[in-house]
Chain A
Amino acid sequence: MSSLLHAFTILAVSAGVVFFIAGTVGLVRFPDVPTRLHALTKADNVGLGLVVLGLLPYTGGLLGASKLVSVWLLTLLSGAIVTQLIARAVR
């Protein structure tokens, strides 16, 4: 059981890191503000979600796990709203 869980964590966290790196590549390479905003929030939020998913087996209990999931949900919410705010500010 444990090696299967380890494999799951390694898989999810690696995927998360790839999304973070992809987000940064997008941030560096994309030509204008809306596309960069897109790269930053979408990729990083997926990256954080995957990292949280991968770390869930280590949280030691339902409370810790739900805390991590709510961190991710909160980031999603604020990411969506802040993106709108920034995009309107430049329009």
Chain B
Amino acid sequence: MALVFDIGIVSLLIAIGAWMIMARDTLVAVIIFVVYGLLMSIAWVRLSAVDVALTEAAIGSGITGMLLLSAAARLRQTEGAGARPSFPVCIAAGSLCALISAGLAGVVLLPADVAPTLAPLAVANLSDTGLENPVAGVLFAYRALDTLLEKVVLLLALLGVWSLGSDRAWGGAPALGAYVPPNDILVFFAQVLPPIGIVFAAYMTWTGASHPGGAFQGGTVLAVMWLLVMMAGVARAPPISSTKVRWLLVAGPALFLAVGFLGFVIAAGFLAYPVDYAKALIVLIEVALALSIGVTLALLAAGPPERTPQP
């Protein structure tokens, strides 16, 4: 019976994906994308990847959807610009893609005799980190360098987005409030939901050490709540020249890096944790990272500065 359910959700996902590609209206396509992300997190739960399900629900549908939606609303006038390629080109592209899909399906059908896995290793060394969630163990202990560099990538992307603003607006604030015309209900919502969201974000970050969750999921919830507040006009987006914002942006990666270098002194090397304090250090890093991720993701979604800075 579980298989029947899986067939149902798989066919729904494929149908929604195809619909998203074919939809005529870009706004509708983005809405379908959000729906797709919400359903995809059910698929991740079916694959026993609860950590990923949380991330997909938060980032894959929520914040990406909001970003694409505001862009689609702004580009409404350019809708219909450009034409689909001619029918033969579509057929050729379609058969190429079908070929690639068939190849991938073949790979799925012919798995290795012994499925490659690092799970036993990950579990065997987990006690040294003091964590109970193996995914957090991979993210913050075994492959901590990847996670650190990912934070740097986020900051670089934010720099890229900021530098796309016009010269006049440099140092100003993103114009997010203009996207939703504020009304009293939205304001009420933006006052009621964030407290709940912030509690949930703190819980996510805290519980990540032993259960599914962590800094990414917690940070994304923070970002979403801040975006809601800015969209409703309850608080304005900060100017990008604000020193406070910039400190928040670098706090997480800087602390991570500092702990990494501390590893030379108190442990085996770069990004190594002393066994006794491993969990405390990791939780400390996660808290700082959750704040930084929240601010970074929200500003990435808010886009380049558009309001000219007030002197």
Contact = CB atoms under 8 A, between A and B. Distances in A.
A76 to B, nearest CB: 12
Chain A contact-residue range equals under 10
Nearest to A87: B185
Interface in A65-84: 74, 77-78, 81, 84
A90 interface: no
Q: Is the interface of B mostly helix, strand, loop or mixed?
A: helix
A85 interface: yes
Contacts of A88: 183, 185
Contact of A85 (B186, B192, B193, B196): B186
- Which of B183, B185, B192, B196 counts the most A-chain CB atoms under 10 A from its CB? B185
B188 interface: yes
Nearest to A81: B189
Interface in A37-91: 74, 77-78, 81, 84-85, 88
A78 B183 contact: no
A74 to B, nearest CB: 7
Q: Is the interface of A mostly helix, strand, loop or mixed?
A: helix
Contacts of B189: 78, 81, 85
A34 to B, nearest CB: 15
A74 B194 CA distance: 12
Contacts of A85: 183, 185-186, 189
Nearest to B196: A74
Interface in B2-51: none
A36 B229 CA distance: 29
Nearest to A77: B192
B185 A78 contact: no
A86 B190 CA distance: 16
Interface in B150-194: 183, 185-186, 188-189, 192-193
Nearest to B180: A85
B186 A78 contact: no
A81 B185 CA distance: 7
Nearest to B192: A77
Contacts of A81: 185, 188-189, 192
Query: Which 4 pairs of residues, A with B, have the shortest CB-CB distance?
Result: A81-B189, A84-B185, A85-B185, A81-B185
Given A77-B193, A81-B188, A88-B183, 5 more contacts: A74-B196, A77-B192, A78-B193, A81-B189, A84-B185
